[in-house]
Amino acid sequence: MAEVEELVVKFLRENPESTPREIADALGLSYSLVRAALYRLRDRGLVARGSRGYVAVSAVRTRRYRALRVEEGQVGPPSVESLIEAERLSSRIKGLESKVEEIYKRLAELEGRVEGIERSINRIRSLVEGLRLEISSLVKSGASVSMSARRGRRREDRLLSELESKGIINLIDARRMAERSIDEYVREGKVIVVSSYVVSKEFFERFKGKLPISVDKVDSLTPQEKILLDALVEEGLAYLHCGREYRLIT
């Protein structure tokens, strides 16, 4: 293909429905040169006349269209209107393909989100099952203790024994030691729950007598008393006043 014809075809692909004068002015070529190039391109089926000007026609699409017409028993080259309609249909097909691809991308994103939700649901189910088993164990433990009490069995309470010697125990360990629910000990006034700890009533009252306590005297507290102080602050029952001393909230 001559250089002028290549320029004309390229211009029409980017600017369909252009007139010969518009093509000549845009490319800086003479009007007669452009007209001659359009005639040659039209004869070869590479351009076609539209409603206003000329449009570029794919050479591959033109050959396929001609082959189809031969199969259907038609003769002669395709009409200009048929070629233009073929171009329009091709553009619409490309647009639909792009939309389908976008739909597939969105479906993939939704599938990823659904998988994340399913994983979260499975984790929640595991937590619920763990809580159910723990509650069942606590209920069975409480029922067993109640039956023992009714039968007059008396034995040393392990939790109260440990609290008597230590004063404060982690809530998880306390539940493992307790022969009944921690709430029952609280209602009986034998223990106090502070943050994540169970504290004997006697130990708690003795420690309260030491408050307020200055910051420089905190190091003199026992390890158990330091744990209780931190638990009180965490629970919002005590606070550091002016950075100098710890006080109970009354």
The pLDDT assigned to 169 comes to: 95
* Alpha carbons 86 and 97: distance in angstroms, whole number: 16
The structural domains of the chain, with segments of one domain joined by +, span: 3-56, 80-155, 158-248
At CA 232, angle to CA 231 and CA 237, rounded to 5?
Answer: 150
Domain boundaries 3-56, corresponding CATH code: 1.10.10.10
pTM: 0.39
Select the more confidently predicted residue: 134 or 70: 134
Tokens 């393909």 map to which residue? 97
- φ and ψ of 51, to 5 deg: -70, -25
Instruction: Output the DSSP codes for 59-111.
Output: HHHHHHHHHHHHHTT--SPPPHHHHHHHHHHHHHHHHHHHHHHHHHHHHHHHH
Do 179 and 216 contact (CB within 8 A), yes or no?
no
**61 has a pLDDT exceeding 60:** no
**185 has a pLDDT exceeding 80:** yes
**pLDDT digits 0-9 by tens, 101-129:** 677 567 667 767 877 788 888 889 877 88
**pLDDT digits 0-9 by tens, 73-110:** 544 445 545 555 655 665 666 676 667 567 756 766 77
**pLDDT digits 0-9 by tens, 222-237:** 999 999 999 999 998 9
**31 has a pLDDT exceeding 60:** yes
Per residue, the 3-state secondary structure of 185-230, as one string, reads: HHHCCCEEEECCEEEEHHHHHHHHCCCCEEHHHHHHCCHHHHHHHH
% of the chain at pLDDT higher than 70: 74
